[in-house]
Structure 1
Amino acid sequence: MNEHTSSMSNGHTSEEADLERLRSRVAANADDLLALLDLLVAVRGLSADLVPEARTAVAENREPLSDLRTSLEREETLVLLRRVGDNAEALSDLLDLLDVTRDLAAELGPELKTVAVENRSELEALRLAFEREETLTLLRRLGHNTDTFCDLLTLLEMTGDVVDDVTPTDDAELAALRADIERLEAAFEREPTVRAVESLGENMETLVGLGHLLEGFGDAADRTPQEYYELGERLGYALDVAEQASDPAVLDVVSAGADGLAADTDREVGLFGLVSALRDDDVRRSLGTALTVAERVGQTRSRTTEQ
């Protein structure tokens, strides 16, 4: 009996605690609850006012709404809506641009009409000029050579800057420059100079090719222009030596020596034979030549060592 009474008292205690928590929450949110109740009353009154009107509108526009639903369910409409949704920002920018353009057109329209009326003859002449075949051909060529035209404009600008930099600012400098130009003009009017310039122009491709050839040799052999100059100088010396070696007298001497070396002989010469051979004029001439060669070779080696 006591246990039953205790359990009932515990149940009443928990229910009272729940009620107390509920009362505290309602009290804490009393303002929000009142606002929600007021909003519910307003919505209920608004729905009571709008429901008959909505029913009447639906009944009167049932067929248009059905057509609208059918059109919205078409694949093309769905694709269009997707594209509009994906490009909503671009569409908004275009609408803003359209508003700006419309305002600008509204402002410029009267001015353009005034300009067109005042310059009707000039515009007519300009139209006739643009309709000429020569003008169209020029515009086509200009379009095909736009890059070249831009490069020429850049070159012209750079040339103008260079001319501004080198233009004399003093009368004395201008007079000296005029004298130099006159001398240069006189030099270019000479027949040899004209022929040299014409020859240079005719062989420009060959000259450019030689320049590329020398550059390729320099890259391959890792040589500088100064080293190529020294190499050419040495080749010039070698050419002089070869020219001297090709002298008929030198060739005769070398041929005679080769014949002597190629002769099949077992001749043996002792000290007395050498002394006796010195009495021969030919032997003395040969020894003189050998001594001269030895002296010049020694002098050249000495200069090379000093350098």
Structure 2
Amino acid sequence: MASDDHTADTTVSLEDDSELARVVEENDAELAELLRLLLTAEDLAGDLTPELREAVHENREPLAELRVAFEREETLTLLRKVGDETDTLVELLDVLAVSKDLTDDLVPELLVAVRENRETVERLRGSLEDEATLILLERLGDNADTLAELLDLLDATHDLATELVPELQAVARDNRDVIREFRMAVAGFTDVHGERDVDMYQLGRNAGNMVATVETLGDPKVTAALDATVEGFAREDPEPVGVLGLVRALFDADVRRALGRLVAAARALGRADLGED
């Protein structure tokens, strides 16, 4: 029984060997090429192995530092951020590519523009290198804060003017007749000034004196006195007064007080400088 099993195994082995031989014979060309490549790879490995060992030996410390750098948390965090922002990075690369193409298109045009405007650029350079220009730039730098405040003020003024212009236009439209009359009054004043050669300083002093006089006339005492005088003149059919009536009136306190005020006014009028020679 054992002999039959051995015979069967031998038969199967012979069949496998014949099949293997047949497959090797059918692919002998590919097998030969593969063996040639293996020999070439072995020779190449034999040549490169000493170089690789020497390179690894010489760069052991940089490789160790690189390994440490890659194993650092900051590097891992950076790589993680790059991975998270992959889409943005791709868009930036696309933008850079477009910018490069745009630059390639513009550079020749810029070179032509510079070549054609070389004289103008040289004059501009001379102007910028002038001492006065440098002083101006230094002053602008020293007063940068003030300049910024003025720009803010101009911006606010522009906004205010933008808001007020419609209102001013409406006011001017509603008061067109008044403005026209005021212009006529100014024109008349100008004509009189030209004809009479008015001293504006003296006119201002006279106007100030008139204001002072009006202020004095507005005093309650003066107003009360004027009211009383007007009331006395406004009475209808006053009683006639003869010589004896005048004498008796002199004994009246109110009459004596009124006469005292008249005398004081006459004295003040006499002392006033009215410009008479």
TM-score (norm 2): 0.40
Structure number with higher relative contact order (C-alpha < 8 Å, ≥ 6 residues apart): 2
